[in-house]
Structure 1
Amino acid sequence: MYWDLKHRLADAVNAHDVPGVLACYSRDAVYVTPCGVAEGHDQIRWMYEQLFRAFPDFHAAAWFELGDCDNPAVTEWTYTGTHDGPFLLPDGREIAATHRRITVRATCSAHVTEGKIDSHREYYDQLELFSQLGFGLLELDRIPAP
């Protein structure tokens, strides 16, 4: 059951199907990413919309699933996409489209209660992402505040 739900979430993410994504989460779920924390469907919707806006061809390819553990379901991914829209930083600043391709390694764990994800924690190396977008740490400091 847990892995079926996790696979449905991955399919919805790769289809950029926001209603399909939300159908996998409980109404009061918490989604934690390096970009911030989202609580509940409205905030989770917004986080995924921002991701798909920044990377219109975003794709997550699972390459390892921790088979000995059902709950939480733990997956390692490779995220790919082209940065063709504004990318929101955790402090509210945006990186304008660079039109660069990214390939980022990531992992996540999703805890399921009563058939829905109630806690989803996602991790990736932000410096790996930012360097592929053409930024080092000092260059990010030069992006103006909102």
Structure 2
Amino acid sequence: MSNVTNVKDDLVNAMNAHDLEAALQCYTDGAVYVSPCGVGEGRDEIASFLGAFLTGFPDVRWTPWSTAVVCGNLVITQWAITGTHDGPFMLPNGEIVEATGRCVNVRGCSLRTMDGDRIAAHCVFYDQLELYAQLGAELVVQRP
């Protein structure tokens, strides 16, 4: 269990230091990253997702509060992120929201499938409505 929780700590520390290269070292070469904004395959695409988040929220901080290891190589972490929206950020619907200067505090969880001491698959879930509301984004209901 210590290896997988160490990787979680390494990833959180790298992201909180805004060290994208260190964060990418937590992933296998062929890792898959899945979030409400899409799917990234391999470190280059994962770098795009993580980098876009760091651009949109340059002071972002991840705070994990619960981690569990289940089925040997599956790690689940509940967390919250806080940050100021000071750069462009793509919402899950594809809309780019320019900097609003608003502070956000969003809850979520991550499921990571480990391959040894690296992340092979990383699925991120967060309260999208909470993020939309805090950014002041307009929700549009499309009816048939």
TM-score normalised according to structure 2 size = 0.90
Q: Which structure 2 residue ranges, 5 or more long, are not aligned?
A: none
Does residue 78 in structure 1 map to residue 80 in structure 2? yes
Task: Give the letter aligned to residue 38 of structure 2.
Answer: G
Moved over 6 A (4+): none
SS in 2 for 1:79: strand
Count of paired positions = 140
Match of 2:16 in 1: 14
Question: Is residue 112–residue 123 contact of structure 2 (8 Å, CA) maintained in 1?
Answer: yes
2: distance between equivalents of 1:93 and 1:55? 16
1:30 to partner: Cα distance: 0.3
Question: Is residue 66–residue 74 contact of structure 1 (8 Å, CA) maintained in 2?
Answer: yes
Q: Which structure 1 residue ranges, 5 or more long, are not aligned?
A: 142-146
Task: Give the letter aligned to residue 93 of structure 1.
Answer: E
Pick aligned residue for 1:46 from 45, 48, 71:
48
Question: Is residue 127–residue 136 contact of structure 1 (8 Å, CA) maintained in 2?
Answer: no
Distance 1:22 1:71, change over 3 A: same
1:71 to partner: Cα distance: 2.1
Report sequence identity in percent: 41
Question: Is residue 25–residue 116 contact of structure 1 (8 Å, CA) maintained in 2?
Answer: yes
Superposition pairs of residues 1-146 of structure 1, within 5 angstroms? 1-66=3-68, 70-90=72-92, 92-138=94-140
**Which has the larger displacement, 64-73 or 89-98?**
64-73
Q: Tell me how large the CA RMSD over aligned residues is.
A: 1.8
TM-score normalised according to structure 1 size = 0.89
1: distance between equivalents of 2:55 and 2:46? 14
1:93 to partner: Cα distance: 3.0
- Cα deviation, 1:2-48, whole Å, max 9, x if unaligned, reads 11111101111111111101100001000011111110011001111
2: distance between equivalents of 1:138 and 1:109? 30
1:138 to partner: Cα distance: 2.2
2: distance between equivalents of 1:63 and 1:70? 20
2: distance between equivalents of 1:45 and 1:80? 20
SS in 1 for 2:140: helix
Question: Is residue 20–residue 47 contact of structure 2 (8 Å, CA) maintained in 1?
Answer: yes
